[in-house]
């Protein structure tokens, strides 16, 4: 039993079930990120943990205590909203202490708690201002201060960074991570941004259409996605999925793909167990960073395969150069070193790190190997 | 070089500008004319009105008509002046405005932030009450007041005006709160505030403009009401509008026009004051719902 248990939880609006049997157990101090496209049910699940939405069936428990039907204020949780939801009529200080006031904490204690949190978040100079006079980043800090001051069992974050500009978002992301490392609190964090999910979490639940597609550490999700949805949702640019045929050559399974000119090329699998798939079609998943120029290939990898193909488009991004090519009729993106000598319209020898390749069943879209 | 501002967005010639202002001035004077006539004639002795020009300035200035209209003029059978009826009106209007505004605010709060099955239909029905002509409800209302034992009393009139006002005040507050972020209410819920605490501490402090709209609307409507006042009020609870009618309609002897004018101004004064004091908030409040701030 974990610290926060979500057991067989479903949510229906009328006859429409929007969350199907969600089962997640969160340990104390964990940073769980719920990630998925809009409409996948992640915010609904968060609101159910908060008590802002009812639970149709199943149980949510915090510290072993069932929370079904318990009022939000009695769950000892705190939430940071996407729009920050600061009370516009109150000063920053009043915003931070409102929750304590509602819970009947005496004034001297409230003041002390507020001072501590304000110092931690570096908003002590803003305490007398109204939210309208603050910048986006400052409001974000105040919203976190309001959550922190309550010293809750579980923090809930509902897309807290999506209203910030790109640079501030990266800064605040680091700060949330620092905060989690120093406070060791349990956090459930909703986002649609897979980079936030990867960088912040200790575990990720990837959701789609009301189902948890995969629950695991960022590395598990990234390296061994449960299905094609997870594979393409996590990572930017997305994982390349190309049709391939499994053929045996020299006693080892190979993925047979067609290059831009229609020629057949074979890429040898490594440890991937493809027993039973010989001669059959699979969907081969290769991350862009596993397709490189030969000099940029991972030296630790035990299985770099060579793929000669026509370069379609090159996109220099400063730190890397992205190359698009056609493979088995699909556009495939590879990531070269910034000054790799790739020229659009010419053939190039790419290095494919097949240790990182993933095979999916094209019919069910589930992962076969590794 | 000057930047484009609303003031110079359309450049107009001097002549056009003068023409516009002259036209506006003429219209302003035209609309001020009735008030001017009333004011002028209320400070003249009666002889100057009957014997002279309505528009002329008084030769002899007097405040006697004002005093008379206030405390000694014949209203119906009693020579009481308008004073007791003015007080009646205040006793009716103030509670009716406060109660209908508070109920409207609560309704708006529930209809937007505590949605329940059928909320939309209920709001539609309440909105419908704004379109019911007063005359239709006269008889049923008289019956209800009789059953409640409130016929002919000030509380009875308060009830009538509250019932009729709720539709409007609910409409105002619902539309205002619809644009109000629901996340604020949720945040307050998590912070531990209950239904009334959220209303009192979060919503009401941010409702200034719409409260002003509701108060002005309700105040003018109830103060100016004649039909309900004349239908449901007893001798002792008549509002000033009814008393003014009685003052003017009393046909014993000479018609004291100067006293009538003074009385009419008394009857119109409170609404004028409310408009002047809070008129600019009125427009701001009406706009608030439509344009997201």
| Number of neighbours of residue A98 by Cβ within 10 angstroms | 24
CA dist A209 and A191 (Å) reads 15
The whole-number pLDDT of residue B10 equals: 57
Query: What average pLDDT does the segment B112-137 reach?
Result: 85
Task: Identify the pLDDT of residue A203.
Answer: 93
The 8 Å CB, 24+ separation contacts for B57-60 are none
Residues in chain B within 8 Å Cβ distance of A78: 190
What is the band of B251 on the pLDDT scale with cuts at 50, 70, 90?
low
Higher pLDDT, B288 or B267: B267
How far CA B190 is from CA of A265, A304, B167, in Å, comes to: 59, 54, 32
Say what the pTM is: 0.76
Numbers of helices and strands, H then E, in chain A: 8, 22
Residue A229 has pLDDT above 90, yes or no: yes
Beta bridge partner(s), residue A33: A189, A204
pLDDT at A311: 92
Chain A environment of B211 (Cβ under 8 Å): none
Number of A/B CB contacts below 8 angstroms equals: 55
Mutate to test the interface with B, among A44, A98, A103, A143 (most CBs of B within 10 A): A98
Chain B residues with CB under 8 Å of A82 CB are 183
Q: How far is CA A10 from CA A7, A246, A334, B40, B259, in A?
A: 9, 40, 40, 77, 76
Q: What is the mean pLDDT of chain A?
A: 88
Residues A122-151: pLDDT tens digits?
Answer: 888 888 888 888 888 888 888 888 888 888
- Using CA coordinates, name the residue in chain A closest to B208: A89
Q: What is the pLDDT of residues A64-100, one digit of tens each?
A: 888 888 888 888 888 888 888 888 888 888 888 888 8
A121 CB-near residues (< 8 Å, 6+ apart) = A141, A142, A144, A145, A148
Query: Among B183, B192, B206, whose Cβ lies nearest the Cβ of A99?
Result: B192
Q: Which tens digits make up the pLDDT trace of A13-42?
A: 888 888 888 888 888 889 999 998 888 888
The complex's ipTM works out to 0.76
Query: Given a cut of 90, is residue A182 above it in pLDDT?
Result: no
**C-alpha dihedral over A241, A242, A245, A247, to 10 degrees?**
-70
**A225 close to A235: Cβ distance less than 8 angstroms:** no
Q: What is the pLDDT of residues B214-230, one digit of tens each?
A: 888 899 989 988 888 88
Token pair, residue A72, equals: 């939000």
pLDDT in tens, A334-365: 999 988 888 888 999 999 999 889 999 999 99
Does residue B205 belong to the interface with chain A, where contact is any CB pair within 8 Å? yes
Interface test with B, best of A67, A78, A79, A87 (most B CBs within 10 A): A87
Q: What is the enclosing helix (H) or strand (E) of B249?
A: helix B240-249
Q: Which of A54, A2, A47, A52 is nearest to A23 (CA)?
A: A2
- pLDDT tens digit string along A264-322? 989 998 877 788 888 899 999 999 999 999 888 888 888 889 999 999 999 998 889 99
């Amino acid at each position: 039993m974990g610290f926060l248990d979500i057991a067989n939880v479903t949510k229906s609006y009328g006859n429409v079930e929007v969350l199907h049997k969600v089962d997640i157990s969160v340990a104390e101090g964990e940073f769980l990120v719920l990630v998925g496209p809009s409409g996948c049910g992640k915010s609904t699940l968060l609101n159910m943990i908060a008590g802002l939405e009812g639970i149709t069936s199943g149980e949510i428990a915090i510290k072993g205590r069932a929370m079904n039907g318990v009022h939000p204020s009695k769950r000892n949780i705190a939430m940071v909203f996407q729009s920050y939801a600061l009370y516009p009529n109150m000063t920053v200080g009043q915003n931070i202490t409102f929750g304590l006031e509602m819970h009947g904490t005496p004034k001297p204690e409230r003041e002390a708690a507020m001072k501590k949190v304000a110092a931690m978040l570096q908003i002590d100079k803003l305490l007398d201002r109204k939210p309208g006079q603050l910048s986006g980043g400052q409001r974000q800090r105040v919203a976190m201060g309001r959550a922190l001051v309550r010293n809750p069992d579980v923090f809930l974050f509902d897309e807290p960074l999506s209203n910030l500009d790109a640079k501030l978002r990266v800064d605040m992301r680091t700060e949330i991570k620092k905060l989690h490392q120093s406070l060791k609190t349990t956090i459930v964090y909703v986002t649609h941004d897979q980079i936030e999910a990867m960088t912040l979490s200790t575990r990720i639940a990837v959701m789609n259409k009301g189902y948890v597609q995969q629950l695991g550490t960022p590395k598990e999700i990234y390296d061994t996605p449960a299905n094609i949805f997870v594979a393409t949702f996590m990572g930017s640019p997305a994982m390349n999925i190309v049709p391939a045929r499994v053929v045996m050559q020299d006693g080892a399974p190979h993925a047979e793909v067609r290059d831009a000119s229609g020629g057949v090329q074979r890429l040898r699998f490594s440890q991937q167990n493809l027993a039973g798939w010989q001669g059959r079609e699979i969907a081969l998943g290769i991350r862009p960073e596993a397709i490189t120029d030969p000099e940029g290939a991972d030296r630790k990898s035990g299985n770099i395969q060579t793929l000669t193909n026509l370069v379609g488009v090159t996109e220099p991004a400063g730190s890397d150069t992205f190359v698009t090519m056609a493979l088995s009729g699909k556009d495939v993106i590879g990531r070269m070193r910034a000054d790799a000598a790739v020229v659009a319209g010419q053939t190039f020898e790419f290095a494919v790190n097949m240790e990182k390749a993933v095979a999916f069943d094209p019919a069910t879209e589930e992962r076969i190997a590794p | 070089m000057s930047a484009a501002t609303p003031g110079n967005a359309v450049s107009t010639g001097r002549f056009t500008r003068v023409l516009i202002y002259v036209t506006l001035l003429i219209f302003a004077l035209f609309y001020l004319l009735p008030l001017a006539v009333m004011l002028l004639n209320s400070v003249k002795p009666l002889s100057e009105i009957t014997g002279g020009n309505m528009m002329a300035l008084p030769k002899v200035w007097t405040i006697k008509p004002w005093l008379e209209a206030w405390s000694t003029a014949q209203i119906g059978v009693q020579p009481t002046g308008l004073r007791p009826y003015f007080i009646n009106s205040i006793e009716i209007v103030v509670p009716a405005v406060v109660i209908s505004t508070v109920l409207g605010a609560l309704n708006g709060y529930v209809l937007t932030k505590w949605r329940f099955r059928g909320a939309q239909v209920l709001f539609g029905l309440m909105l419908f009450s704004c379109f019911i002509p007063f005359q239709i409800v006269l008889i049923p209302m008289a019956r209800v007041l009789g059953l409640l034992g409130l016929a002919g009393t000030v509380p009875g009139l308060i009830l009538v005006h509250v019932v009729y006002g709720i539709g409007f005040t609910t409409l105002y507050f619902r539309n205002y709160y619809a644009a109000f972020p629901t996340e604020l209410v949720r945040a307050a819920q998590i912070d531990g505030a209950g239904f009334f605490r959220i209303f009192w501490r979060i919503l009401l402090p941010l409702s200034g403009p719409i409260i002003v709209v509701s108060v002005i609307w309700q105040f003018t409507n109830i103060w100016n009401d004649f039909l309900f006042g004349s239908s449901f009020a007893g001798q002792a609870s008549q509002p000033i509008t009814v008393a003014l009618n009685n003052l003017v309609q009393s046909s014993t002897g000479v018609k004291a026009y100067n006293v009538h004018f003074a009385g009419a101004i008394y009857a119109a004064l409170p609404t004028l004051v409310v408009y002047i004091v809070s008129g600019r908030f009125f427009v701001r409040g009406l706009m608030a719902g439509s344009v997201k701030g």
